[in-house]
Homo-oligomer: A and B are copies of this chain.
Amino acid sequence: MLGEMLENVRERHPLIHNITNYVTVNDCANMLLACGGSPIMSDDADEVEEITSICAGLNINIGTLNRRTIPAMLLAGQKANRLKHPVVLDPVGAGASALRTKTALELMEKVHFTVIRGNISEIKTLADGSGTTKGVDADVDDAVTAENVGQAVAFAKNFAAKAKAIVAITGAIDIVADVDGAYCIYNGHPMMSGITGTGCQLSALVAAYVAANPGRELDAACAAVCAMGVCGEIAHERLGEQDGNASYRNYIIDAMYRLDGGTLEGRANYEKRDA
């Protein structure tokens, strides 16, 4: 399954419209190219509807949110909905400010998201206001572990039902769930949190995978999360003794550029599970 998802991205070259933050935007663009997609970044209300019309999917990321881009996010999201394009939400820092929480909730109300991808603290904030987001990283107390993964899966499925979206909660253990089913994914490496933007890149990647695999959104989102984790592992194995987080960032994108379906199938470590 996963290999086919990847190959569909490489064959169909989905063009993804990104309204995203200026911190990690270059990495998102290169990650989209690495996976076989194509990026376009556009955030002005005067053009986002047109831009999203020529794309296969939309990725909305609320890092470095500002007054100018919020209306553009709504316009682009609603246009993409009308066109039945998949739309991904990355609620960066939801819970860290009222503006971010409020905007994420408003987006969820007015735009139908195909996938919402965030860390556990961000998703908890969206679900019930009880997240304890500290900055843009998940709170340690919220972390999904081997012990609480069952609870986390149940939480994810409930949130998916409420949000009418696939939810991808990423961390040491990743959960990708819709109302009916859930995948737990065990790939990745802790050092990925030592790089800015691996989450943002993953959201862009999810958009490309979902856009290239219509009708199979849950599996496609799972494949994207596995692919990112596998690339995090391959890149980590490549690290030399002088390499740190800057080289690691490059190596992860490099790994995605070279990833093929067979390698993804062989290295993906995931299971379908109920709560």
Contact = CB atoms under 8 A, between A and B. Distances in A.
A62 to B, nearest CB: 11
A246 B255 CA distance: 9
Interface string A37-72: 011111110110011001100000001111110000
A260 interface: no
A111 B100 CA distance: 26
A115 interface: no
Contact of A244 (B23, B27, B99, B257): B257
Contact of A257 (B46, B55, B194, B251): B194
A67 B67 CA distance: 13
A136 B47 CA distance: 14
Interface in A228-275: 238, 242-247, 249-258
A43 B22 CA distance: 11
A99 B46 contact: yes
Nearest to A239: B254
Q: Is the interface of A mostly helix, strand, loop or mixed?
A: mixed
Contacts of A54: 96, 134-135
Contacts of A96: 40, 50-51, 54
A66 B44 contact: yes
A98 interface: yes
Nearest to A25: B23
Interface string A1-40: 0000000000000010000011111110110011000111
A137 interface: yes
A246 B249 contact: yes
B245 A251 contact: no
Given A42-B97, A246-B257, A196 B30 contact: yes
Interface centre among A26, A65, A134, A252 (most CB of B within 10 A): A26
Interface of A: 15, 21-27, 29-30, 33-34, 38-44, 46-47, 50-51, 54-55, 63-68, 93, 96-100, 134-137, 194-197, 238, 242-247, 249-258
The 8 closest A-B pairs by CB, nearest first: A244-B257, A244-B254, A246-B253, A29-B196, A47-B97, A246-B250, A47-B99, A44-B66
